Homo-oligomer: A and B are copies of this chain.
Amino acid sequence: MHDAQSSDPIKMGWMQGFPPAESQRVMVRDASAYRFPQIRWSFSHYQELYPTRPIDRGSSPTQQLSLNLRDDLDAICFKPIGDNEPMRWDQSLEKNFTDGIVVLHRGVRIYERYFGALSERQHHLCASVTKSFVGTLAAWLIHDGRLDPKEPVIRWIPELSASGFAQATLEQVVHMTTAIRYDETYANPEADIWKHLKAGGVFPRLANDQGPNCFTDYLQTVVQSGVHGQQFAYRTPNTDVLGWVLKRVSNQSLSEMIAERIWQPMGAERDAAIQIDSIGFEFAGGGLLAVLRDLARFGEMMRLDGQLGGRQIIPKAVIRAIRKGGEQAKFANAGYTTLPGWSYGFMWWHAHDEHEVFTARGVHGQTIYIDPKAEMVIARFASHPIAANAHIDPHSLPAYRALAEHLLRES
């Protein structure tokens, strides 16, 4: 079962037929929508499972990404992390349960493939790639002087005064150096992430569940554990708090902010959407839905210091601030064996390598990978059986690097 071929969602017939047979249903109410192999279907059909708020692309023309597909990339070989057997690029896509991948070189689509249940017209769940959008908006409002990173977040969200965020500064939240008690091990059914997702309606609640029933109620239950500011610790509630701050300061929803500041000016080709809870609160930590090419556009704009199609979409100083990254020393002990020397800053992952790579990452393999030196951007959607990217990086990061070097060699 655990390979891309045998879990192919079309072959498995998920949600085919009118109505689909009971054994082929993918639903929220029985939690099957969040199980493998059903996620191979559900991640490409999220609007059909959950309430979502549209992110309007507006009525301007699409910023076209020109196409020059190359057939030499499939044969590029790389050495997976922890494995001496070389692997080909095209094999890596299957190994990673890829649903879609676009590679841009100098803004031109040189590679584009769709698998599983995804097409170029369909939204896919971005999962925690969402966080990098939220972090970018935060960097922008800080740059504009509308947010002071040294202030405590309860300046804007007094509702958190009795929570573990009471002593946290915006800076600690935005770089995830808060010390909160929160187990984000997806493989553990008792982990806090599941309570969090149940509050937000992502995961079904039992009828007798007395826990919080929306994101904002959940965030108020999070407690502190340790000293804020000392270590990076990847905890999704930070992003939900950050999204809350952004909304309150701007008096706009994230969907409005993303639409007005990013999606419309960058000429996105389709509307996007964001998952919301039962009271309309957006899932800043992981709810963005978008088509793959629009993620690639966003990545290309980040690569070009905020420009796309000759227009400055995001101020260059904002991108520069993001690309400084976080503190490597605070990241070093966080246990990311596939990311040596990396950091997390403004909710982006920074390699601090000679290619100046920085990435957005989401569970089950969602990625925007930006390699400025190689002038390359990769956007990938996936539905890997394992949530943690540590299991996906070994056949992704070296593949991306091999592609970058291939492109650099011919320059």
Residues of A at under 8 Å CB distance from B?
15, 18-20, 25-29, 47-54, 56, 59, 121, 123, 207-208, 213-214, 216, 244, 247-248, 253, 269, 271, 273, 276, 278-281
Contact = CB atoms under 8 A, between A and B. Distances in A.
29 contacts: A18-B247, A18-B248, A18-B253, A18-B281, A19-B216, A19-B279, A19-B280, A19-B281, A20-B279, A20-B280, A25-B279, A26-B280, A27-B278, A27-B279, A28-B51, A28-B278, A47-B47, A47-B53, A47-B273, A48-B51, A48-B53, A48-B276, A50-B51, A52-B52, A54-B123, A59-B269, A207-B207, A207-B208, A271-B271
A253 to B, nearest CB: 8
A59 B121 CA distance: 9
A10 to B, nearest CB: 14
Shortest Cβ-Cβ A-B pairs, 9 listed: A207-B207, A18-B247, A19-B216, A19-B281, A48-B53, A25-B279, A15-B280, A19-B279, A29-B278
Contacts of A48: 51-53, 276, 280
Contacts of A248: 18
Contacts of A244: 18
A388 B54 CA distance: 30
A221 to B, nearest CB: 15
Nearest to A15: B280
How many copies of this chain does one complex carry? 2
A260 to B, nearest CB: 12
Interface of A is mostly: loop
A26 B19 CA distance: 30
A301 to B, nearest CB: 21
Nearest to A251: B18
Given A26-B280, A51-B51, 6 more contacts: A19-B281, A20-B280, A47-B53, A48-B280, A50-B51, A271-B271
Contacts of A281: 18-19
A49 B48 CA distance: 12
A20 to B, nearest CB: 6
A387 to B, nearest CB: 23
A51 B53 contact: no
A220 to B, nearest CB: 11
A173 to B, nearest CB: 16
A283 to B, nearest CB: 13
Contacts of A214: 19
Contacts of A15: 280
A56 B121 contact: yes
A28 B53 CA distance: 15
Contacts of A273: 47
Contact of A51 (B49, B121, B279, B280): B49
Contacts of A276: 48
Contacts of A280: 15, 19-20, 25-26, 48
Contacts of A19: 214, 216, 279-281
A153 to B, nearest CB: 14
Central interface residue in A51, A59, A121, A253, by most chain B CB within 10 Å: A51
A407 to B, nearest CB: 29
Nearest to A245: B18
Nearest to A49: B51
A41 to B, nearest CB: 10
Contacts of A26: 280
A23 to B, nearest CB: 12
